[in-house]
Amino acid sequence: MTVKERKYCLAFSCFPLIGPKKFFLLKRYFGSAEKAWEAKREDLLKIGFSEKLVSSFVEFREKFDLSSYILRLKKLGIETIFFEDKNYPKNLKNIDGEPFLIYTLGQFSARDSIALGVVGTRKITSYGRQVTEKLVSELVSSGLTIVSGLAYGVDFVAHYTALETGGRTIGVWAGGLDSVFLGFRKNLVEKILKEGKGVIVSEYPLGFFPKRQTFPQRNRIISGLSLGVLVTEAAEDSGALLTANFAESQGRPVFAVPGPITSPLSAGTAKLLKSGAKLVYNVKDILEELDISQKVKCLAAREILPEGKDEEIILNLLRNEEKHIDQIIKESGFKSAKVAETLTLMEIKGKIKSLGGGRYAIRH
C-alpha cells in the first residue's frame, strides 16, 4: 500500500459514520481509498448512501486536517496497522467486520497469535477474582497471551495477573487511544507499556470518547484477536456474554466457569454452559480444546529475543518493516559505528539478515 493510500485510509477512520463494511465497499467500488475519498457527491449517492450520510461526509472531508492529525499521532506515540500490513493480527483478519485499520500503543509479538480472551463481570466477587487469577496465571505459564477489555472487575484482574506472572496482555479500548489513560485504568495501561509486555488496541480515532454502543464493537475485537473466549464470572445480562456470542459467530470456542448457584453473578456462565460452552474446571480443559501445545513450542523456538537494550531498540525498529542502515541510525539516535557493529553482531547471531544495499530485516 502506498503512503498516499495509507493516509486516505487513515482519514476514513476518523469519519464515524463509515465503518469497516462501508469502507471496504467504497474501496472496492472506486478502486482505492483515495478515489473514494475524492468521489463526487452524485457518485456516492449512486452506490446507495443516503443524502444525510453523503452530506455529512462531504462536510467532514472539507474541514478535516489530516496533516495535523498525523502529527498528533506521532506526538502521542500511537501507531497504525492497516489491514494490508504484514503485522496486522492474523486472528483478527478472519472475522466478519474486521477493522480496516487499528491504532496501537506498544508492539505486537509473534506470541500474540496464541491468545485467549478472558472477560466477565465488572462487579467481581472474591470467588471470581480467585478463579480468574488461577486460570490466567496457568494460561500464561502455558504460553498464551491474555486479551481483555480494560474494564473494572474481571478484565482488570486478567490483565494485571498476566503481567504479574510474566506474561503478555492485549487491552482493547472502546474509544480513541488518547482517552485510554483516564480514570482507574491509567496505571494499568502505563504498566503494560512500560514493561513492554503487551499492546493497547483500538479501531477508534483520536478524540473519540467511548460510548455505550462502542463497547459491543470492542467486544468483537477481543474475541477476534483470540483463539477462544473464557468467561470466568458474569451475570445474565453481562456484556461478557456479547463477547462470547461474537466468539461463537467467529467459529471460536467459548469456555465458562461454573459458579455458586446462590450468586446472581453465576447466572451468565450458567447460561453459556446450557447453550454449549465448554465447562472449565481447570486449565487443561482449555488447553486440550485449543490443542495449542505444539504451536506454543514452535513459536517459542522462533521468537527472536534481544540481548541488551541496543538490540531491543533495533529489533523494535525492524519489527514491522525492513529499513536502511541510515534510517536505523536516524531513528535509534545511535552513532553510525555503534549501529554498524550491533547489526553485524545481530546478523551473526541469526536475528536479522542483510538484504543488500544497506537494508536490514528481522530473520523469520
Mention every residue, 6+ apart, whose C-beta is less than 8 A from residue 261.
270
Query: Which cell is 22 given?
Result: 462501508
Query: Which cell is 173 given?
Result: 479500548
For the segment(s) 92-97+103-298, the CATH number from 3.30.230.10, 3.40.1160.10, 3.40.50.450, 1.10.599.10 is: 3.40.50.450
165-219 pLDDT, tens digit each? 999 999 999 999 999 998 889 999 999 998 888 999 999 999 999 998 899 999 9
Domain 309-362 architecture:
Orthogonal Bundle (1.10)
Average pLDDT on 300-316 reads 77
In terms of Cα–Cα distance, which of 251, 269, 249, 248 is closest to 259?
A: 269
Q: Which of 113-122, 148-157, 355-364 has the lowest mean pLDDT?
A: 355-364
Average pLDDT on 292-309 reads 65
Rounded to the nearest 10 degrees, how much is the dihedral formed by the CA atoms of 166, 75, 83, 119?
Answer: 40
| Cα 322 from Cα 108, distance rounded (Å) | 16
For the chain, give the longest Cα–Cα distance: 69
| Cα 347 from Cα 335, distance rounded (Å) | 18
Q: What pLDDT shows up at residue 298?
A: 52
Q: Is residue 143 within 8 Å of residue 114, measured between CB atoms? A: yes
Give domain limits for the chain: 3-64, 92-97+103-298, 309-362
